[in-house]
A and B are shown apart, each in its own frame.
Chain A
Amino acid sequence: MKRVELEQKVLSENDKIAARLRESFRERGILCLNLISAPGSGKTALLESTLNGFASHEAVGVLTGDIQTDSDAARLRRYGFPVKQITTGGTCHLNASMIENALREFPIGKIELLFIENVGNLVCPSSYDLGEAAKIVLLSVTEGDEKPLKYPGTFFKARLMLVTKLDLLPHVSFDLGRAEANARAVNPELEIIHLSCATGEGLGAWSEWIERRRHACGNRSFGAETLAGAANARPTAAPEGIDRSPGKPAIKTAIS
């Protein structure tokens, strides 16, 4: 028997592709954000509210991952922006190769802001670099404030935590302060925004966060139009079943 030293990272192939993607995003001035959460924390709902807030000329696109079905893409496509479903067929996370393949059939040249909605899972997605500028973790108030301690890996690698479904807070025992303390125990630099897609609370802060990141990566600014204000000045007709009048958040009708 002979010993051959390797010292090879198992995910080196993924990391290589992710580096290629990151470089390509940087060259094109694309801000890529990777949304990670447990199933049912509201990633798709957040994207619906987010897309609903953009003017139709904004260069936004979404890649959405699920194990089965293209129902998320169908939900998101109604807002008029390019959306591509990645169906993993059993794999519990997206990897860089899936992103690279999906982008081959995606109008990436027209995109400045790319959201990746990962497969609902708080463990595996954090191991796979997708070339994103930032990982964003969602934690809904119906899940429990101890989640950052139970799944520290994802919260450690995230730059921003979005506490979602804030409107349900009065009905659950979730302690916002404790959730924040737990998340910051894992990642003291973690930025945190509380929001509700049902009431619109916090969507302005989310919009500003995206805008700051877009500036930082060379994107042009949204201008005066923010997610919070956009509903008042929709330039396009709302898709069927989506009420865009002010004060009536899209999600209420979009999930009915």
Chain B
Amino acid sequence: MHELSIANAILKTIEAECRARGGLRPRRAGLRIGELSSVNAESLRFALTAATRDTPFAELELAIESCSPRRLCRACGAHYVGGLLSACPRCACSSADLLGGDELEITYLEVEDETCRT
């Protein structure tokens, strides 16, 4: 259910962007999904297929880039890659801010050269 709401939010954003840029026809969308975003890429693909059926976006391809959690140690300031249960590799402190890895972003669109005139 969660992925379906995410799929709808993605479509709404793409639709608005295409409209705002004079009627672009998107063929492929680049998505960045953090490992901590609680979104499963395969479920999202499935939800997007369901949500775009019989719409102008039915042929839209997805290019999904996954990204790992990036942390900033609150004790020693080290940057490291690690999940919410990982400790700082430098000082072993487990208190760290999350700098990234929970992203859910549309990074780019590949669009047909001709804009839609209708």
- A residues lining the B interface (CB < 8 Å): 1-14, 90-93, 95, 123-124, 126-127, 149, 152-153, 156, 184-189
Contacts and interface: CB of A to CB of B under 8 A. Distances in A.
B110 A3 contact: yes
A182 to B, nearest CB: 9
A153 B110 contact: no
Contact of B1 (A12, A92, A126, A127): A92
Interface in B66-118: 83-85, 94-95, 98, 102-113
Interface residues on B, range: 35 or more
Nearest to B84: A152
Contacts of B21: 4
Interface centre among A8, A123, A188 (most CB of B within 10 A): A8
B111 A153 contact: no
B95 A6 contact: no
Main secondary structure of the interface of B (DSSP, over half): mixed
Contacts of A124: 1-2, 38
13 contacts: A1-B110, A3-B108, A3-B109, A3-B111, A4-B21, A5-B107, A6-B107, A7-B108, A90-B1, A127-B38, A152-B84, A153-B36, A153-B102
Nearest to B85: A185
The majority secondary structure among interface residues of chain A is: mixed
B17 interface: yes
B5 A91 contact: yes
B13 A10 contact: yes
Contacts of B109: 3-4, 6
Given A152-B84, A152-B85, A186-B84, A4 B5 contact: no
Interface of B: 1-2, 5-6, 9-10, 12-13, 17, 21, 24, 27-28, 30-31, 36-39, 83-85, 94-95, 98, 102-113
B107 A153 contact: no
Enumerate the 9 nearest inter-chain pairs by beta-carbon distance, A residue then B residue, closest first: A152-B84, A188-B95, A124-B2, A92-B1, A10-B104, A4-B109, A8-B106, A6-B106, A186-B84
Contacts of A156: 84, 98
B98 A1 contact: no
Contacts of B107: 5-7
B105 to A, nearest CB: 5
